[in-house]
Structure 1
């Protein structure tokens, strides 16, 4: 692994550096950075912010969930700067048209309303059950995820939901990628299913797909060793 490599680890919706804590340790001595999006409300704005503030010109970029979409947008905006790309438990398609898209919007807005009325942790307790393997409900790991959600605010939640609901279509971009690309998915990810990652894998020339066993959507926290190993292999020249 290159000693001077700069690895940008992009968190997903309502996540922060805690999502990547185990991977930061595992990837040492690479220089790992976990950005914050603040209250930015578009995937493009998030991607540009990360590019503007990254401490190096050439970046190895790994993104989880919403962060995967930010990573793809970084590759679109500045392909010369993204030398490696890892996409974890994420997707490529924009908001679906018609009833399916309206259903997603209504579901997300309902969670935002709950967060405003009852607090971020109460909302997270309901929402995160769909994010992890069922065996991890009501465990210390689950509480750690709720702690992470509670560190965010309804204003941040609203901004990130706006970014997701207006997310760009990245399907065509995948076929244009020429950097080493890794796709990672929890076997039991019900939010960003394995079938979607298999489709993305087929679109990206020369990409690798790593399936994380006994894991839901939060694979970096649910199975940190397996995710770290996949990223270590991805970092090898």
Structure 2
């Protein structure tokens, strides 16, 4: 449900050293399809950064075409497939509840509920930031939200991809990311020990919008590695 707004605060810091393109996955309903679409429109060789679901797409891109990816950055994300048993059902239920709100009360109402746990607690009072996130979601439909939920619930196990990474790799997250916590990123680094792990202070899941200068500096360091 995110778009170029996530990266808008970061790109001005990156543009002097790299040509930047933000991918829109449209109504694709699988990570495999999203990766295929990205590859069909990308240069022959490129650096790839992804945030949240976008980082899962980035891992799928690397799975499909590792020879085309020169480096990879994975921000505020995860790597495991849907859990089995009660944990997996709890995730399905939570996503279904949000989808029901989007379908019956509108995407804006859903986003207003979703965002409460997605930024650093101190930023819940930042009206401009919260509005930017909610308005970003509101540009997408409940049908797109449903397609993206389907993609995430069917996500592949990315552990083999992490273990296979042999390009400069950045793994990063906000220190208060409750959706994709630091421990999850530390586990990712354990699978890809050559990766650099960076933690953004005073940031939640939406780190590129919450701490743009710090995120940009980490990406510039990654591009220069």
Partner of 1:69: 56
Select which of 1, 11, 15 maps to 1:28. 15
Q: Is the 8 A contact 1:17 1:34 kept in 2?
A: yes
Question: RMSD of aligned C-alpha atoms?
Answer: 0.8
Q: Deviations over 1:184-220 (max 9, x none)?
A: 1100000000001011111113110010000000000
| Residue 129 (structure 1) aligned to one of 99, 111, 116 | 116
Name the structure 2 match of 1:118: 105
Distance 2:47 2:184 in 1: 23
Shift of 1:167: 0.3
Aligned counterparts of 1:43 and 1:138: Cα–Cα separation in 2? 34
Deviation sequence 1:50-91 (CA, Å, 0-9, x none) = 01011x111100000100100000000000001100000001
- Which of 120, 125, 130 is the aligned partner of 1:142? 130
Indicate the residue corresponding to 2:184 in structure 1.
Answer: 196
In structure 2, the residue matched to 1:173 is: 161
- Taking the aligned partners of 2:213 and 2:199, their CA distance within structure 1 comes to 13
The residue correspondences of 1:12-91 to structure 2 (distance < 5 A) are 14-29=1-16, 30-54=18-42, 56-91=43-78
Deviation at 1:173, TM superposition (A): 1.4
Task: Give a deviation string over 1:134-166, Cα, whole Å, max 9, x none.
Answer: 111142101110010111100100000000000
Moved over 4 A (4+): none
TM-score normalised by structure 2 residue count = 0.97
Secondary structure at the aligned position of 2:44 is classed as coil
29-38 vs 220-229, greater mean Cα deviation: 29-38
Verify: 1:213 aligned to 2:201, yes or no: yes
Instruction: Return the alpha-carbon distance in structure 1 between the equivalents of residues 139 and 124 of structure 2.
Output: 20
Contact 1:86 1:182 in 2 (8 A): yes
CA contact 1:177–1:204 (8 Å) conserved in 2: yes
CA distance in 2, matches of 1:47, 1:22: 24
Q: TM-score, normalised by structure 1?
A: 0.92
- Taking the aligned partners of 1:196 and 1:122, their CA distance within structure 2 comes to 29
List alignment gaps of at least 5 residues for structure 2: none
